[in-house]
Structure 1
Amino acid sequence: MLPSRTALLSLFILSLLTGILPPTAVTATGSTATTTIGFTYSAAVDNSPPPEHVVTALQSLNIPAVRLLNPSPTLIRAFSYSNISLLLTVPNYLVGAFAANRSAATVWVYNNVLPFHPRARISLISVGSDVISSTGGPGITDPTTALVPAMQNLHHALIDLGIRTVSVSTTFSFINVITTAFPPSAAEFQEPVNSLVIRPVLEFLEETNSSLLMNVYPYNVYRLHGEIPISFALFQEGPFNFRDDVVTGVRYHNLFDMMVDAVIAAMAVSGYENVPLILTETGWPSNDEHMNAEESQMYAEKYLQGLISHLKSGLGTPLRKEGAAQAYIYQLFDDGPESNSKKNNLTSDGGETVHQYWGVMYHNMTMKYNIKFDNAHQISTMLGLLVPSIYSLWLLYHFFFCFVWSGLMID
């Protein structure tokens, strides 16, 4: 009688061990990776808190990455030993100098990287931001000829100084370089900028194992195309809230994924589909000329929370299951009305300049929106796995002591 009980016990344990973790949970945790979510931070914003206080606030929110728009030695030093990854941006006006002379790039590295690396986790440097739209700006006579040489000189300057863990790239803006957002399968990089700039940049990125940096704003595409439902831009679910790409057969449930896949498709057309993608800017302003203040802020909150939840889901996009490697929310604090940034100053339908506010924090370090940055969904998932596991162990305990042990005592 005892052998039969032992065999039954073995079979029961085997069934428990094979059933403790649901197959879907194993697949979800084993084959997907969430996008690293960070913030764009400019210390040049008027009345912004001291950098040390900002770093403390970011750590309290468990923010793992920050993109510095106006890096300075003082600002970079504040992030030392914080374990926050930094993406530095070289000002556009230095691109021409970097391209003309490697010594200019070396001096910049001496001032902004060498004194702090690796205590400050500088992971990547963008040579300018949206440089191709800066033709005629200070320091840039022709971005089509200056950009790649500037990137090469910065890369070699880092290598010469023994810094091999910091990548070099440059930032483009979706609206300025992609032909169309839908269908994504039809997207390409615009000519002639593709042949003159983007393809040489992608070649450099592939050779140096770096990433393509892209600013992606569903808000801008939504404003330009009135036929797009606001819910589609804000990650809201609905019975008819989707768009089908008939070429690939992919169904899209939000504008963000469509735009990211349009970039992926354009990279594939250029022959560089395996270059990693980092989204250097995305966000939603808290004011819009076509909405009242309360409605604008509500939409901004919905976009940001939808974005964070989507990126943390680990689902990626239909054309790239791992999704973007990183995504930076624009931005930490509002710029003042005196800012001359194009994205902060919008020309209204009446021809007037409207200043827009993209910050997610007030200058007193409180949050503007009720959004969550923690891993609550992961905790819920773990609890979903843990509860059946505990129940299975309890059944095993109950079976052994109430059935097997009693049988042994009888025998």
Structure 2
Amino acid sequence: MQSMAFYLLLLLSLTSTTTSATTIGVTYSTPASISGSALLSPDRIAAKVVSMNIPAVRLLDSNPAMIRAFAYTNVSLFLSVPNPLVPLLASNRSLAMRWVYRHVLPFHPRTKISIISVGNDAISYSPDVSPFLLRAMQNIHLSLADLRIYKVSVSTTFSFFNIVPTAFPPSSAQFQNPNGDVIIRPILQFLERTNSSFLINLFPYNMYRSSFSIPIGFALFEEFPFNFRDDLTTGVRYRNLFDMMVDAVISSMAVMGHENLPVIVAETGWPSSGIDASEVDATLLYSEMYLKGLLNHLRSGTGTPLRKEGVSEVYIFELVEKEAKQGIRNWGILHHNMTDKYSFEFSDGGETRRFVEVLLGFSVEVVMVLYLLM
């Protein structure tokens, strides 16, 4: 019976590992139209997300009609406050309450709202907004608490390139000052107190383009014998650029005493076309290779060298590509007319988890039968 008990514990452990893998979602912002004609209705977007078994969506514009469309779908929503609103919400608590009344209260809990990002990469796009981030976050958090909404966390989103100047070696990474001490440190303290997560936009494509020393296979999760980089300080070996960048963020948080904060990758992806002909690596093939490699890596549950549980959530940028125009990159996993762009399945639909659950149930029955026969 001891061997049977061990076998059962092993299966329980396998089930736990499978169900704790990173949540993989997508970002979505409302495009103007499909081919200049019919609008993409919120109901159509929600139905497509559900049909693709996507468990989470980041709404970059937090359109109330779109929030309503996801009611009763079991899809978790990540809402965003636009950068221009941040100073207003910071200076006026009643405006923060009004935003919550408009974007959260009418829908929660029928729509699963999990987190609100107050601002998106404000340090880069709206540097004058950055000093207002923490106060705006506090006002949104207090407004939620006043309405007894306790399961929606509040954070803000940073961009890797604007806060981490050097990603290698990851063990030596630190947040860039003065923003590190002035902006990020107090925000980390707020996240720790409120049990929230650190949100980061993380694009290996941009780092690959900025450094000739990074091989394309290292950025695309290709497994070659010599496709790695060693952190000589820690002895850790990195086999893909995504893990290296995530660990650089974790090391930067550790320097400030917050190494255990959950990390959510709010945006990542690889463009299928570039701004101009010079972006020779922005191709449909490489985009598919990156997404396939990323999804397989996240589903494996192996995490990163510095964080075995990995990041808690990752959002692919983006669900629907914009109308093809000169001078913009295309990132979408769907064409602008909502047809599939890639041949792979975005989600396994829980097939692995269900297989393990069925296997576990069968094994329990076998153990019980054998026990009764002894």
Check whether TM > 0.5.
yes
Q: Which residues in structure 2 correspond to 1:85-124 (within 5 Å)?
A: 85-124=76-115
CA distance in 1, matches of 2:252, 2:142: 28
* Deviation of the 1:134 alpha carbon: 2.8
DSSP 3-state at the match of 2:117? strand
Q: Aligned partner of 1:272: which letter?
A: H
* Deviation of the 1:382 alpha carbon: 3.7
Mark the CA change 1:155 to 1:256 in structure 2 (over 3 Å): closer, same or farther. same
Query: Which residue of the other structure, out of 368, 378, 388, is the alignment partner of 2:341?
Result: 368
Query: Which residue of the other structure, out of 71, 93, 115, is the alignment partner of 1:80?
Result: 71
Asked if residue 40 in structure 1 is aligned to residue 27 in structure 2, the reply is: yes
Work out which of the two has the higher radius of gyration on C-alpha atoms and give 1 or 2: 1
Asked if residue 358 in structure 1 is aligned to residue 345 in structure 2, the reply is: no
CA distance in 1, matches of 2:312, 2:350: 21
Q: Aligned partner of 2:199: which letter?
A: L
DSSP 3-state at the match of 1:354? coil
Q: Aligned partner of 2:240: which letter?
A: N
Mark the CA change 1:49 to 1:256 in structure 2 (over 3 Å): closer, same or farther. same
Contact 2:31 2:40 in 1 (8 A): no
Query: Which residue of the other structure, out of 137, 157, 166, is the alignment partner of 1:180?
Result: 166
The match for 1:297 is 284
Q: Which residues in structure 2 correspond to 1:114-263 (within 5 Å)?
A: 114-135=105-126, 142-263=128-249
Contact 1:214 1:279 in 2 (8 A): yes
Contact 2:319 2:332 in 1 (8 A): yes
CA distance in 1, matches of 2:233, 2:197: 27
CA distance in 2, matches of 1:245, 1:19: 37
Deviations 1:295-315 (A, max 9, x none): 810100010011111111111
Q: Aligned partner of 1:368: which letter?
A: K
CA distance in 2, matches of 1:247, 1:181: 14
Mark the CA change 1:209 to 1:300 in structure 2 (over 3 Å): closer, same or farther. same
Task: Structure 2: state its 5+ residue gaps.
Answer: none
The match for 2:256 is 270
The match for 2:352 is 378
Deviations 1:143-189 (A, max 9, x none): 34211111111111111222221111000000100021111001100
CA distance in 2, matches of 1:57, 1:77: 15
CA distance in 2, matches of 1:380, 1:309: 18
- Identical pairs, percent: 52
CA distance in 2, matches of 1:307, 1:64: 16
Contact 1:144 1:196 in 2 (8 A): no
Mark the CA change 1:380 to 1:300 in structure 2 (over 3 Å): closer, same or farther. farther
Query: Which residue of the other structure, out of 322, 325, 343, is the alignment partner of 1:335?
Result: 322
Mark the CA change 1:272 to 1:175 in structure 2 (over 3 Å): closer, same or farther. same
Asked if residue 322 in structure 1 is aligned to residue 295 in structure 2, the reply is: no
CA distance in 2, matches of 1:246, 1:380: 41
Query: Which residue of the other structure, out of 46, 53, 62, is the alignment partner of 1:55?
Result: 46
The match for 2:60 is 69
CA distance in 2, matches of 1:135, 1:77: 29
Aligned length: 363
* Deviation of the 1:28 alpha carbon: 4.4
* Deviation of the 1:380 alpha carbon: 10
Mark the CA change 1:204 to 1:261 in structure 2 (over 3 Å): closer, same or farther. same
The match for 1:310 is 297
Asked if residue 285 in structure 1 is aligned to residue 271 in structure 2, the reply is: yes
* Deviation of the 1:224 alpha carbon: 0.4
DSSP 3-state at the match of 1:281? strand
TM-score (norm 2): 0.89
* Deviation of the 1:291 alpha carbon: 5.8
Mark the CA change 1:377 to 1:186 in structure 2 (over 3 Å): closer, same or farther. farther
CA distance in 2, matches of 1:377, 1:260: 27
Task: Structure 1: state its 5+ residue gaps.
Answer: 1-12, 137-141, 339-352, 405-411
Mark the CA change 1:284 to 1:110 in structure 2 (over 3 Å): closer, same or farther. same
Which stretch of the first structure deviates more once superposed, 284-293 or 36-45? 284-293
Q: Aligned partner of 2:74: which letter?
A: N
Mark the CA change 1:124 to 1:318 in structure 2 (over 3 Å): closer, same or farther. same
* Deviation of the 1:18 alpha carbon: 5.3
Q: Aligned partner of 2:72: which letter?
A: Y
Contact 1:206 1:272 in 2 (8 A): yes
